[in-house]
Amino acid sequence: MESFLRIFALLIPIWVNFAALASPAAAQTDLLPSWNDGASKQAILDFVAGVTAEGGPDYVVPEERIAVFDNDGTLWAEQPLYFQVLFAIDRAKALAPQHPEWKDKEPFASLLKGDVKSALAGGEHAIVELVAATHSDMTTEEFNSIVKDWLARARHPKTQRQYTEMTYQPMLELLAFLRSSGFKTFIVTGGGIEFVRAFAEDTYGVPPEQVVGSAGKTKFETRDGRPVLMKEPGVDFVDDKAGKPVGIQRHIGRRPIAAFGNSDGDLQMLQWTCTGSGLRFCLYVHHTDGEREWAYDRQSSIGRLDEGLDQAAANGWTVVDMKKDWKKVFGFEK
């Protein structure tokens, strides 16, 4: 008997563990502490309870629990400019000595004079030029290092925080909560896939293979006798608007059951997600907090949310009022 008791003693930690998993007390722990109580938080909790209730009418097997998240404006801030554009501007400045011709060529000429507004007045064309010049002619591994290095050093112009600190605390909690409920979380970004991969695993807990994004052309070749993947200037895929469902199908091959965005660029992703059969969840983050963050929607050139707001109302999607629904916006807030 004694040896039995000894074995039993050894098992106590395991048993305690199992008990914790199953006990109602554990289930009541608030896994979304930065969300104020209210309709948005309740809608999330109800959805997750529904799809995870085995034997219930809305149960979804774990392998089908796919949740997709936009990045800019949904997981981290996007003002005063998309952070990847700020990265490209810094890169252009760093590369300028090797490109004397940029002194007479837009958008570089204005940028190098510190006039970002004029540089970007060229609109999409200017951005494409800028990204092509700063995101190509290097290996994928070199690019990854450059982005990581920039993220470690650069500071946000308004908060002086690292860009990876400009992530929304409530959304980080939501990512973790969904994963703890058996979801596989994907990022589906209009930004560059390799740019976002450089920090998504550390910052969001989303591994590179679960990042979908816009992409430049890549070419396999041999350099100095070793195979490399070279980033080339051309655009291969734009993962925005109607491109998002296409990117989702290409990378994931399943229709998500939950989608999270903040702009009209996410509208088709939400439509694709929420018109599938069974219980679905679509959520827009509405930037309503001009004090803790930025307030913008229908008129904004960055992260415009116009048709999306109408569609959310028409379809009963959840719209997060950042000011009202979030106890904290950023983790660094007191």
Q: Which residues bind a second copy (CB under 8 A)?
A: 4, 7-8, 11, 14-15, 18, 63, 66, 140, 184, 193-194, 197, 201, 207-211, 215, 218-221, 226-227, 229, 242-243, 245-246, 249-254, 268, 271-272, 275
**Nearest C-alpha neighbor of 116 from the set 95, 138, 139, 88:** 88
Give the residue with the Cβ less far from a second copy, 260 or 296: 260
Query: How, if at all, do strands 66-69 and 258-261 pair?
Result: parallel
Return the number of the residue (169 or 271) whose C-beta is nearest a second copy. 271
Instruction: Map tokens 């800028």 to a residue.
Output: 130
Q: Of the two residues 77 and 151, which places its CB atom closer to a second copy in the complex?
A: 151
Q: Name 66's bridge partners.
A: 184
- Per the DSSP assignment, residues forming a β-bridge with 260 are 69, 283
Minimum distance between the CB of residue 164 and a second copy, rounded to whole angstroms? 18
Amino acid at 40: S
Distance CA 100, CA 103 (A): 6
- Residue linked to tokens 């307030």: 295
Closest to a second copy by CB, 107 or 243: 243
Other C-beta atoms closer than 10 Å to the C-beta of 18 total 11
> What is the spatial distance between Cα 4 and Cα 66, in angstroms, rounded to a whole number?
44
CB 206 within 8 A of CB 174: no
We find the least distance from the C-beta atom of residue 145 to a second copy, in angstroms, to be 14
Least Å distance, CB 208 to a second copy, is 3
Closer to a second copy by Cβ: residue 177 or 186: 186
CB of 201 to a second copy, least distance (A): 8
Q: How far is the CB of 203 from a second copy (least distance, A)?
A: 15
Nearer to a second copy, 56 or 276 (CB): 276
Q: How far is the CB of 122 from a second copy (least distance, A)?
A: 28
CA distance 238 to 261: 17
> Do residues 329 and 293 touch, judged by C-beta distance below 8 A?
yes
Which are the contacts of 56, defined by CB distance < 8 A and separation ≥ 6? 50
Compare residues 36 and 218 and give the one whose CB is closer to a second copy.
Answer: 218
Which residue's CB is nearer to a second copy, number 37 or number 202?
Answer: 202
Angle, in degrees to the nearest 10, between helices 267-274 and 243-251: 60
Nearest alpha-carbon partner for 148 in 137, 162, 161: 162
Residue 100 or 253 with smaller CB distance to a second copy? 253
Q: Which CA distances in Å does 83 have to 69, 90, 117?
A: 17, 11, 15
Nearest by Cα to 88 from 46, 4, 146: 146
**In the complex, least distance from residue 100 CB atom to a second copy, rounded to whole angstroms:** 33
Minimum CB separation of residue 273 from a second copy in Å reads: 9
Q: In whole angstroms, how close is the CB of 93 to a second copy at the nearest point? A: 27
Q: Is 298 helix (H, G, I), strand (E, B) or coil?
A: coil
